[in-house]
Amino acid sequence: MKNKMGIILPLLALFVGSTGLAETPEDYRFPRECTMTPDGNPVPLCGKPLTKTPVVVRNEGASLKTYPEYFVPEQEELAPNEMRLTAVGSGNPPVRRGQASTSWLVELGNGDKFLIDAGGGTVPALWSLRIPLAQLDKLFLTHLHLDHVGGIFNLWDSMGWARNTPLHIWGASGSTPELGVAAFAEHVAKAAAWHTRSKRGIILERRRAAHCARVRLSGSSPRRTRIALVYDENDVKIYAFPVDHILEGAVGYRLEWNGLSMAYTGDSIPTRQEAEQAAGVDVFIHELFIDAPTFAKQNNMPLQFAENVVHEHTPADMLGRIFAIAKPALGVGTHFFTNDYTIDPAFEGIASEYSGPVVIAQDLMVINVTPEQIVTRMAKTDLLSWAAPPPPPPPGAKRPQLDPPVTEGRTPQWVMDTRLTGEE
Ligand SMILES: [Zn+2]
Ligand SMILES: [Zn+2]
């Protein structure tokens, strides 16, 4: 793999500190020196992935692709048989400066891109990855908790001017229509009425309506659906399966393409169902929750409240048990409060049930998956990045006409009559 200056960087660069490439761009998300926790894990926000297995070699005899120490947007092409998974947001409902809420980006070597969940704070990360947001038109929602959908207005708005196709949303139907993803998308569009009206005649706002595909899973009916094919295009298959997270309408997804696979289960109480549906995938991304006393203390919350929340999630030892059943090539814990003092207990809890390769996600952690190896690194991004250029329009495509500008409901005339002209 070549960097900007055409230097071949050895795989060893993953482990031996900075390289020329590591200096570009400067990323102020990594303000800390990489000291180690008592158990020998790197501390968060130092530019290293939280794992003891940044490289999982799957085929000892194969010649292995080498990667720079950091993933830098626009400097690495995916190979035709390669998948890249990026933790766009690795956190919880409290959006933190160092950890956004939940979102994962899946990019395939055939050019397809999928976004799973879009929590608060995740769109700035997508922007910094220099992906033309107009290309992100396939959003799969695991459930409708706000930490998984809170960024949807930003996503919708950021797609803006370059966008000629709708944002397609997949998600579950709930136990009643108002609890389903279709009602959610309809109300998002309704809530944006002022915004949408104001953009008439300025940009192609009407092209941006959210189209919705409902994943119908008969969760509590006698005809139980264990797993359903919900997307089948361009050799990509995505399956949805129910998970146990408070209400009917919470699902996990399993994506298969070109012999590679990943699963992401959103939020859930551990069940054999989800472990079986994710069995044997290359990368299994699963939530991981801290213990109730720490959660209560750090959030100034009564212990009983904290226990109620934790009860709907997955503690570390149970995540280990899930991985032990599913046996992924790499297990990823996400939706976790990464702090210096939470890392070691989490790894210890997982290790009490499972000894395979495990990573705890941080924002903009990047996992490259090939048949030969799985490599986990951090992305270095420009925090003040501008928009990536959109892909060229298809040959012969005409730019759609703008709607006529808005006339009704404009700013009151008497306010407009006081506009400054510069000649006062
Ligand atoms: Zn959540
Ligand atoms: Zn949730």
What per-residue confidence (pLDDT) applies to 197?
Answer: 85
Pairing of strands 251-257, 365-369: unpaired
Strands (DSSP E) found in 273-338: 283-287, 330-334
* 179 pLDDT more than 80: yes
Residue 264 alpha carbon to ligand 2 centre in Å? 13
Q: Which of 316, 209, 320 is nearest to 275 (CA)?
A: 320
CA distance 255 to 84: 12
What per-residue confidence (pLDDT) applies to 211?
Answer: 55
CA distance 299 to 295: 6
**Which of 154 and 267 is assigned the larger pLDDT?**
267
Residue 397 alpha carbon to ligand 2 centre in Å? 41
Residue 103 alpha carbon to ligand 1 centre in Å? 10
Residue 145 alpha carbon to ligand 1 centre in Å? 6
Q: Mean pLDDT, the chain, as a whole number?
A: 87
Distance spanning both ends of the chain, measured CA to CA: 61
For the sheet containing 102-108, what is the strand order? Answer: 55-57, 373-378, 365-369, 83-90, 102-108, 113-116, 138-140, 167-172, 210-215
Inter-residue contact 254 to 277 (CB < 8 Å): yes
Strands (DSSP E) found in 156-248: 167-172, 210-215, 228-233, 236-242
Residue 165 alpha carbon to ligand 2 centre in Å? 29
What per-residue confidence (pLDDT) applies to 100?
Answer: 97
* 18 pLDDT more than 80: no
Inter-residue contact 260 to 112 (CB < 8 Å): no
Mean pLDDT of 188-193: 86
CA distance 284 to 73: 24
**Which of 164 and 62 is assigned the larger pLDDT?**
62
What residues does the ion ligand 1 have nearby, CB within 5 Å?
145, 147, 267
Nearest ligand atom owner, CA of 312: 2
Residue 143 alpha carbon to ligand 2 centre in Å? 7
Residue 236 alpha carbon to ligand 1 centre in Å? 26
Residue 151 alpha carbon to ligand 2 centre in Å? 15
What per-residue confidence (pLDDT) applies to 222?
Answer: 45
Nearest ligand atom owner, CA of 287: 1
* 292 pLDDT more than 80: yes
Mean pLDDT of 327-346: 97
* 32 pLDDT more than 90: no
Nearest ligand atom owner, CA of 243: 2
Residue 224 alpha carbon to ligand 2 centre in Å? 22
Q: Which of 213-217, 249-253, 362-366, 411-415 has the highest mean pLDDT?
A: 362-366
Counted residue by residue, the chain has a size of 424
**402: phi then psi, degrees, rounded to nearest 5:** -70, 150
What per-residue confidence (pLDDT) applies to 370?
Answer: 97
What per-residue confidence (pLDDT) applies to 395?
Answer: 79
What residues does the ion ligand 2 have nearby, CB within 5 Å?
145, 267
Mean pLDDT of 288-294: 96
The domain defined by 6-221+229-395 carries CATH number 3.40.140.10: no
Residue 117 alpha carbon to ligand 1 centre in Å? 10
What per-residue confidence (pLDDT) applies to 173?
Answer: 85
Residue 394 alpha carbon to ligand 2 centre in Å? 39
CA distance 398 to 215: 34
* 246 pLDDT more than 70: yes
What per-residue confidence (pLDDT) applies to 163?
Answer: 63
Of the ranges 208-222, 284-298, 408-422, which one carries the lowest mean pLDDT score? Answer: 208-222
Nearest ligand atom owner, CA of 120: 1
**393: phi then psi, degrees, rounded to nearest 5:** -65, 155
Instruction: Find how far residue 290's CA is from the centre of its chain.
Output: 20
The predicted-structure confidence for 377-412, as pLDDT tens digits, reads as follows 999 999 888 888 877 777 777 766 777 888 889 999
The predicted-structure confidence for 211-224, as pLDDT tens digits, reads as follows 555 665 544 444 56
pTM of the predicted structure, to 2 decimals: 0.90
* 158 pLDDT more than 80: no
What residue spans define the domains of the chain?
A: 6-221+229-395
* 126 pLDDT more than 80: yes
Residue 334 alpha carbon to ligand 2 centre in Å? 13
* 7 pLDDT more than 70: no
Mean pLDDT of 68-86: 96
CA distance 68 to 58: 19
What per-residue confidence (pLDDT) applies to 389?
Answer: 81
* 78 pLDDT more than 90: yes
Residue 334 alpha carbon to ligand 1 centre in Å? 10
